[in-house]
Chains A and B, each alone.
Chain A
Amino acid sequence: MLETWPPQFAHWFKPRWPRTRTLTLGQRNIFILPSKTALALLGLIAVLFLLGINFQNALVYGVCFWLFALLIVNLLHTWRNLRGLSITAIHIQPCFAGEKAVLELELACPPKQQKFAIKLAWPEEDAVQVNLMTTQTVRVKLSHSTQQRGHFNPPRLHISTHYPTGLAVAWSYLALEITGLVYPAPAPKHQQPYPTNSLDSTHPSGQTLSGGSSDFGGIRSYQTGDSPKQIHWSHYAKTGKLNTKVFVDYASHDLWLDWANLANSGIEPRLSQLCRQVLDAHQAQQQYGLKLPGLVIPPSKGEAHQARCLQALALFGVEHAQG
């Protein structure tokens, strides 16, 4: 998916379309050709030329030559409409495998210029048309379907324009240096009973979350700010020293989403299952941790935590070299 240039021409293509975050279009990397409409117009020009000859009519010649000049001059206009445009990949919205990954791009044109009808497309996937008329930059989103979890490297993007007359088409390619994440496709909901085995007896000590209120956790010396209710008054009466009683909550109440505890086998089904569990737990606003072979994410909650878990699932077993 990465470099799909024809191998025999790769040495020509590669320096012109480097894999970068930002590409500015210039003489080196814009193609331009007359369009089909131009061919039709060329036919008309030939007919007009014959008409001019047969009727010896100077003004018919005039129209004929003017249209021919239009064909030529228009090439420059179409080319200029693409020239100087820089395209920056902003980021790719992570998605689940089988869904569409959305790439956000920023198009910027040089000052005091306007660009019209710029078409960005992944052939067969998605296309957007934008104008840069009142602003110098514009952001566009393009989606691309995904099949596999892991890294998503967007294929070459086509950028083209027919502006202004449609008599020529100028185009270029964008090989963008940006990688998106594709999470595993979540398994269908409640395929497996919700894991209740997570009140974990194998971790008696668990993890303590200080500042709790349920269980007595010990005594420490008083620090300013401690609540008077928690001062160990009886100890103070005996020794004259101010001590504070400390209470803790045990983390072992939390949910552990564990690779080892899954009923189904195979890497991908398990990852899908875990993905579903992460989503459900997040939706239920529960604290949860994730255990994968070789990776433990301690329990927590919130968007960032979910993203971290999903990323771990997405990249499980995937080489990091590409990232």
Chain B
Amino acid sequence: MLKDKRTSTQPFITYTGMIWLLAAQLIVMLPFTTSLPPWLLAVVVLAAGWRLRVLAGKASQPKTLLKAGLLLLGIAAVFLSGLRLPSLEAMSALLLLGFAFKAVEAVQQRDALVVILTGYFLVALHFLYTQSIIAGLYGTLALIVLTGALVGVQQTLEELTPAQQVQFNFWIAGQILLQCLPLMVIIFVLTPRFQPFWSLPLPTEQHTRGILDRMAPGDIEKLSQSADLAFRVSFKTERPPQTDLYWQGLVLQHFDGREWRQFATEQDPEQLKWTLKHEYSYQEHNLKTQGMAYEYEAIYEPSGQNWLFTLSPTTEVQGEALRAADYRVMAKQPLQSPLLIRAVSRPASIRDLELSPKLRALALQLPSQGDNRSRELAKNLYAAAGDELTYIQTILKRFKEQAFFYTLNPPLLGETDTIDGFLFDSQRGFCSHYAGSFVFLMRAVGIPARVVVGYQGGEWNKAGNYLAVHQFDAHAWAEVWLPNQGWLRVDPTSMVAPERTEQNLEAALKKEGRLLEQSVFSSRKFAWLNSIRQQLDRMQYGWQRWILSYDSATQAQFLDKLLGGLSVLKLAGWALALLVCLALSGLIWLGLTRQAHAEALEHRLYRRFTERLSKQGFERRLDQTPSEFGALAAQAWPAQAEKILAFTATYQTLCYECDEPQAKQRSSLLRELRRLLSQLP
């Protein structure tokens, strides 16, 4: 059992260490292939393969010139693969390239450490692209493998085969990281959250999706094909009835004859933010609150856009959001990761008893010409109705009673006179057609009106107690302004297809039967499949709600719940209690309580045996084995020779031949040891 292994002063990476490193690199790089050039993966395999061949003695280490050439080639390839230069992607791609190339250079342990630390960084970097549960689990796996590599590259256990070593290191890494988990959670919960210090380039990979800032006939039905989630809402108070769930997103005021837009000129998000802040800012005194107040939290999926969707009007909003004069709520930044806001809405409130001239002008805008049949119709009907309210009802009645159909695939309407085309010719349309033409008919007779786009309804998740709103819930409706009543919501679609608002899109299109055939609703057909889907969705919601959206507000709320009123003293008390618990469990875990049994019984008995003999003058030298010592002592003390030899033999059997499971044999041997010891003088 003599060990005489010398270690060199310059620690190198061993073959198994290199395999660990390669595995860690592959695992770290794999998820990047969806957003970055996949050939980077080939680079790491080739680089590590080369290094492994060098270690096996089958190739020589590449020359510096060659390495530099390959690196330049790689950098050129990164730029040629179409990544914009000052972007997160380009930075990630360059980092990954260096990471991949490092494999061929990983000779000393120091190189391995560089690779592993970079790997940790890349794991975190990938979370900027996706934060799903799957990504989280995968990231955890990557962390374990990286930590395993950290263990593996620094020492070799010759006692184990390479496969066993991998398993062992994996186990060690997993164990340590698991032990880190409670501490990590505590730090996660207690660390203060700060506002961003400076703005960094965001991943451009996510394209904008969901509702756009304009609406041409047929735009919204495209969304109805998508089962992607838009946002989830959980209510603190009771939930409004399904027919009242109108999630206002943005208001479209400007009509150019075909398309509805927010303003006459196109504005990018920054300009729009400026306009809304300065020209159309939210005025609290315009709102006369009344009726039921609904309090809720909504988490919006990353859409790459600023739109948020709330029940209008909101009286309170918390989070990274601003409000405007049209009662919309808008995120301050385009949504690249899930955003949580808390809001209170009072849908029955009266909005804008007085309409400012600016808003009135916006709400009455129409193109100077076109759609003449519709203008004619409006004038005639308004003259017949006499007042605004009757006129509105006449129009709605017309939609209901005439041969108007609600359909996902309406006929094309051409470039001009789209309102005429719909109202008089096709009479088939989706919500955008109804909302657009309704507002047109209102404006044609001088009633301020506007198109609102957003979502209507949502799917109630009973298990999770929240509402999930999907892209196919996208909807467009109208608002008209009446003196003394302010803005009123009017949904012309509900006249044609009441099921749309009472139930959902699926019910409204039952006659058509088209959606059902497509995958959008397929999992909703079977009850059991549906409940599994809802459970999964609920898990994701919890993940988003409690982990991804853990911000300073959630933190304060959580701590408040935990501590019952936040105070420094209480916080300190909890921290102290936690520390004491940690320290205690640490001490127990470190085995301080095991000290008493540090020496096995047989060794203690043997020690007593040698003490007895030393009283007789037979000292055991440290380099004597028990059998050598036993033989000598027996020779020197013939009277007790038999017992000495028997004791030594039994002790050796216990130490070297008795396996752990044979407890019975063990205890009988121990009894024998005790008996022999007691017989010695």
Do the two shown chains form a genuine complex with each other? Answer: yes
In the assembly, what is the distance between CA of A135 and CA of B1, in Å? 9
Is A134 on the interface with B (CB-CB < 8 A)?
Answer: yes
Contact of A116 among B7, B157, B179 (CB under 8 A): B157
Contact A60 B127 (CB under 8 A): yes
Choose one: A21, A64, A165; the contact of B124 (CB below 8 Å). Answer: A64
| Residue among A40, A52, A110, A139 making CB contact with B3, cutoff 8 Å | A139
Check: A157 CB closer than 8 A to any chain B CB. Answer: no
B4 at the interface (CB under 8 A from A): yes
A57 with B131, Cβ < 8 A, contacts A67-B120, A129-B5, A130-B5 known: yes
Report if A51 contacts B (CB, 8 A): yes
Which one of A21, A67, A119, A164 lies within 8 Å of B622 (CB-CB)? Answer: A21
Tell me, yes or no, whether A17 is within 8 Å of chain B by CB: no
CB pair A69–B590 under 8 Å, yes or no, is: no
A117 and B121 form a contact (CB under 8 A): no
Binary interface profile of B, 590-622, with partner A (CB < 8 Å = 1, else 0)? 110010011110000000000000000000001
Residue pair A127, B7 in contact (C-beta under 8 Å) = yes
Q: Knowing A64-B124, A116-B155, A127-B7 touch, does A164 contact B176 (C-beta < 8 A)?
A: yes
Chain B: minimal CB distance from A266 (Å): 36
Question: When the two chains form the complex, which single residue of A57, A66, A91 contacts B623, counting CB atoms closer than 8 Å?
Answer: A91
Q: How far is the CA of A162 from the CA of B153 in the complex (A)?
A: 12
CB-defined contacts of A134 to chain B, threshold 8 Å: 159
B633 to chain A, nearest CB (A): 20
* B200 and A141 within 8 A (CB): no
Question: CA–CA, A44 to B120, complex, Å?
Answer: 8
Q: Is A10 at the interface (CB under 8 A from chain B)?
A: no
User: CA A52 – CA B548 in complex, angstroms?
Assistant: 11
By a CB distance below 8 angstroms, the chain A residues around B177 are 66, 70
Task: Name the interface residues of A106-147: CB closer than 8 Å to any CB of B.
Answer: 106, 110-111, 113, 116-117, 119, 126-131, 133-135, 137-141
Contact B124 A63 (CB under 8 A): yes
Give the contacts of B114-139 with A (CB-CB under 8 A).
Answer: 117, 120-121, 123-125, 127-128, 131, 135-136, 139
Cβ-Cβ contact count across A and B, 8 Å cutoff: 179
| A-chain residues with CB within 8 Å of residue B157 when the two chains form the complex | 116, 131, 133
- Tell which of B150, B198, B590 touches A76, judged by Cβ atoms closer than 8 Å: B590
Is there a chain B Cβ closer than 8 Å to A322's Cβ? Answer: no
Q: A56 to B143, alpha carbons, bound, how many Å? A: 21
Stretch of A82-90, A188-196, A251-259 that contacts chain B: A82-90
A60 and B124 contact, CB distance less than 8 A: yes
CB distance from A94 to the nearest CB of B (A): 14
Asked if B287 is an interface residue, CB under 8 A from chain A, the answer is no
Contact across chains for A66 and B184 when beta carbons are under 8 A apart: yes
Query: Is the pair B180, A140 in contact by a Cβ cutoff of 8 Å?
Result: no
Q: Are B124 and A110 in contact (CB under 8 A)?
A: no
Distance in angstroms between the alpha carbons of A52 and B195 in the assembled complex: 10
* Bound: A67/B532 CA distance, A: 35
Once the chains bind, are A88 and B127 in contact (CB under 8 Å)? no
Does chain A have a CB within 8 A of B670?
Answer: no
**A41 CB to nearest chain B CB (Å):** 6
Is B3 in contact with A54, judged by CB distance below 8 angstroms? no
Query: Is A237 interfacial (CB 8 A cutoff)?
Result: no
Tell me whether A77 is interfacial, beta carbon within 8 Å: yes
The answer, yes or no, to whether B513 is at the interface (CB within 8 Å) is no
A300 to B125: give the CA distance in the assembly, Å. 80
Compute how far the CA of A29 lies from the CA of B522 in the bound complex, rounded to whole angstroms. 68
Is B590 within 8 A of A83, CB to CB?
Answer: yes
- B598–A110 CB distance below 8 A: yes
User: Is the CB–CB distance between B196 and A56 below 8 Å?
Assistant: yes
Residue numbers in A under 8 Å from B131 (CB-CB): 57-59
A164 pairs with B127, CB closer than 8 A? no
A285 contacts B by Cβ under 8 Å: no
Chain A CB within 8 A of B199 CB: yes
A165 touches B150 (CB 8 A): yes
* A69, A83, A133 interface centre (most CB from chain B within 10 Å): A69
The listed residue with most A CB atoms (<10 A of its CB), out of B125, B202, B337, B622, is: B622
**CB pair A88 B622 closer than 8 Å:** yes
Q: Does A276 contact B (CB under 8 A)?
A: no
Nearest CB of B to A247, in Å: 34
Chain A nearest CB from B122 CB (Å) reads 10
Within the assembled complex, what's the spacing in Å between the Cα atoms of A137 and B151? 23
Taking CB atoms, residues of chain A closer than 8 Å to B123 are 63
Q: Does B92 sit at the interface, judged by CB under 8 A?
A: no
Selected interface stretch from B186-194, B306-314, B366-374, B475-483: B186-194
Q: Which residues of A contact B4 (CB under 8 A)?
A: 128, 140-141
**Contact between B6 and A73 (Cβ–Cβ < 8 Å)?**
no
B337 close to A55 (CB less than 8 A): yes
Is B493's beta carbon under 8 Å from chain A?
no
> How distant is B110 from chain A, measured CB to nearest CB, in Å?
9
A163 to B154, CA, bound (A): 8
A12 within 8 Å of B by Cβ? no
Binary contact readout A219-258 vs B (1 if CB under 8 angstroms, 0 otherwise): 0000000000000000000000000000000000000000
Q: Counting CB contacts under 8 A, is B542 at the interface?
A: no
* B324-342 contact mask (Cβ, 8 Å, vs A): 1 or 0: 0000000000001100000
Q: How far is the CA of A83 from the CA of B592 in the complex (A)?
A: 10
Residue ID in chain A nearest B198 by CB atoms:
A54
Contact of A164 among B124, B172, B589 (CB under 8 A): B172
Pairs A-B, 8 closest by C-beta atoms: A69-B180, A59-B127, A69-B183, A117-B155, A63-B124, A65-B187, A69-B184, A54-B196
* Additional A-B contact list (7), CB under 8 Å, known A164-B176, A165-B176: A58-B548, A58-B550, A77-B176, A106-B622, A135-B1, A163-B151, A164-B172
10 A-B pairs, CB-CB below 8 angstroms? Answer: A48-B121, A57-B128, A62-B188, A66-B184, A90-B622, A111-B597, A140-B3, A141-B4, A165-B154, A166-B150
